Amino acid sequence: MKNQTEIKNYWQQFVKEKNITATNYSAWAFGDSKQMTDELAELVIKGYKTATTSAYDLYETGEKIPEVGEYNIILDGNHQAACITQTEVVEVVPFNLVSAEHAYHEGEGDRTLSYWRKVHEDFFKREYTDANKIFSEDIPCLCEVFKVVYI
């Protein structure tokens, strides 16, 4: 509960300082381990990571899909607020058609498409296995581009 209060206070500080009237935000973390979460949050803060990709068909019924203009509080591996981003682009693209440009903006590894495909295939295979589904190279990916608006 302490983290929820801290996250809410972080949001309230942001809207007050930036004179933002928005009231809705999502708070979430990248990755599936504390180490990965910390590393990816740090890449966002440093400005290297300005995009992300999720498996579109693993969103649950009724789960909110990212939208242009929305705010997100990016959490670190301790579930504490690292920064706030605002979504600029959202598109659904098959895994095998994700662009080198998008891979570069993901900011991970050497920022190449081959690196992106390797780590995302490994990650998505784990997610699909957990959901009792089968990964394929044409799965729909939700590609999101964002900017950091508050640290």
**What tens digit of pLDDT does each residue of 4-53 get?**
999 999 999 999 999 999 889 999 999 889 999 999 999 999 999 999 99
What percent helix, strand, coil does the chain show, rounded to 5? 40, 25, 35
Torsion sign across C-alpha atoms 77, 81, 83, 85: positive
Tally of CA atoms within 13 A in the half-sphere of 3 that contains its CB: 12
Confidence grade of residue 1 (pLDDT, cut at 50, 70, 90): low
Provide the pairing of β-strand 81-94 with 140-150. Answer: antiparallel
Judge: domain 2-150, CATH 3.40.50.620. Answer: no
113, two tokens: 């498409």
Domain locations in the chain as residue ranges = 2-150
DSSP label at residue 67:
-
